[in-house]
Amino acid sequence: MEIGAKNILVELQLNSKRYFTLSNDSGYYNFIPFDTGHGKVILHLENQTTYTNACQDTFDVYISDTSQNPEINFLIQTPSCSHPTPKLNVEISTPFLRRCFDNNYTLSVFNESSDTAFNSYVDIELDAHLIATDTAFLSTQNLGNNTYRFYLGNVSPLQTIHKQLKVKVDCDSTILGQTHCVKATAFPYEFCNIIDAKYIQAHAACRNDSVIFTIKNIGYPENFQQYFRIIENDTITHNGILSFTQSISQNSLAYYNPTGKTYRLETRQYPMYVNEDTILSVSIEGCGNSDFSKGYVNLFSQDDDAPNVDIDCHQNVGSYDPNEKTAQPSGYGDSSYILPNTPLEYTIHFQNKGTYAASYVTIIDTLSSLFDITTFQMVSSSHPFTYSIIDSNFLQFSSTSINLPAEQDDTLSSNGYIKFKISPKKNIPTATTIKNTASIF
């Protein structure tokens, strides 16, 4: 029996217009083109890694307003391996972190392979200032250091598991605007080819008024060098070379930080690492001074390029705007610069400020023409949504049975979010401004 594949991007080209949509959980998709004539239906696999090939990716069609329109089925394939290769993709997110209050995190685990993931689990590492208050944490394995292991059992091919988790931002040990990160790592994540566990690992620690970075070479016996740079707040202040030999597997870097700046280390991951040519980074906030810098951690991308790892960082808030849109990385400097070809992860926050539960929620996001629509990925959401792409650049997210409580009835549950990822087009000029807006109905 064939398995329906979700989140597959399909394009309809009709009368010089381009329409896009994504397949739903059952693998079905449809277009409402409001036009007739000869066109093409095209399959896009650029936005995901689960499927590598299609038997046929383009079909000629005729759209009519008087007869039944065609049904186009695509047969797509996963890599053929000599052994099972289950792959658990993980996402974790929250609309915001309200200081001194409970906050909802949504955990999503998706088996993106055609093999069952046996004995699956997710490790969730909470920031030291986040307190697990959900009863779900009581049934997990406490690994220490505010890290919990959630056992998921067997996850079927293309199955998604969602969990809602509640944590509280501690009042006594935090200040307003401080950044807190949560890291989720899902297992198993296997590969077709046997890959040696060779990679570089980075860690940041605070010792009194100094920041200490430790960079370890894991499992690679030969000599090699990697360039690194240090960013203080949003300014590059140091750079150099990390040298590893057969006898030296660790480099340490120390920086005096009496003013409490946010420090970030960036280097390249080991070249033969499975997510090759990715940036390895680590940041530390709140070291060296009680009146430390805030708001710099999310200027840059998090170190979660591997599909089975997700890092979600938020500044805690007191009062907040319940309907807003945020981008990560948010960019550094007055012009909010990001590196070329950097994917942008947008989160749209919404809240029911009315006096009765909301049954229907629709969100329209107008994308800049500078985005490559074929790189769109739905990341996660607090509630089930269907989504489509209209006329190349309008994202429409809809929920017809959300039953979102009114703020007056349940403040925490009256909030929700949608998170998606998309990349700019390649080779756009340096210093080009990319704008994006969303509307909530």
Q: How do the pLDDT tens digits run along the chain, 441 residues long?
A: 577 888 888 999 988 888 888 888 788 888 877 788 999 999 998 777 778 788 899 999 998 887 677 889 999 887 777 677 889 999 999 988 999 999 999 999 999 888 899 999 999 999 999 999 998 998 899 999 999 999 999 999 888 999 999 999 999 999 999 999 999 999 998 877 655 567 889 999 999 999 999 999 887 767 889 999 999 999 999 999 999 988 888 999 999 999 999 999 999 887 666 666 688 999 999 998 889 999 999 999 999 988 899 999 999 998 766 788 888 898 887 788 888 888 899 988 888 888 888 888 888 898 888 998 888 888 888 888 888 787 778 888 888 888 888 888 988 888 888 999 899 988 889 888 888 888 887
3-state SS, residue 334: coil
Q: How far apart are CA 304 and CA 308, in angstroms?
A: 8
Give every CB contact of residue 250 below 8 A, 6+ residues apart in sequence: 214, 215, 216, 217
Which amino acid is residue 158, in one-letter code?
L
Task: Give the largest CA-CA distance in the chain.
Answer: 76
Q: Return the closest-CA partner of residue 39 out of 17, 57, 24.
A: 17
pLDDT at site 328: 87
CATH code given to domain 325-441: 2.60.40.740
Neighbours of 355 (CB within 10 A): 9
3-state SS, residue 297: helix
| Cα 431–chain centre separation | 24
pLDDT at site 323: 80
pLDDT at site 18: 85
Same fold, 82-193 and 325-441: yes
Q: How far apart are CA 86 and CA 189, in angstroms?
A: 6
CATH code given to domain 199-295: 2.60.40.1930
Please, are residues 342 and 370 in contact by the beta-carbon 8 Å criterion? no
Structure tokens given for 425: 């087009």
Which fold is adopted by the domain 82-193? Immunoglobulin-like (2.60.40)
- Distance (Å) of CA 105 to CA 147, 151, 208, 432: 15, 17, 32, 34
Domain ranges of the chain: 9-77, 82-193, 199-295, 325-441
Q: Return the closest-CA partner of residue 94 out of 143, 163, 145, 171.
A: 163
pLDDT at site 221: 67
Q: Is 370 left (phi over 0), alpha (psi -120 to 50) or beta?
A: alpha
Q: What is the pTM of this model?
A: 0.82
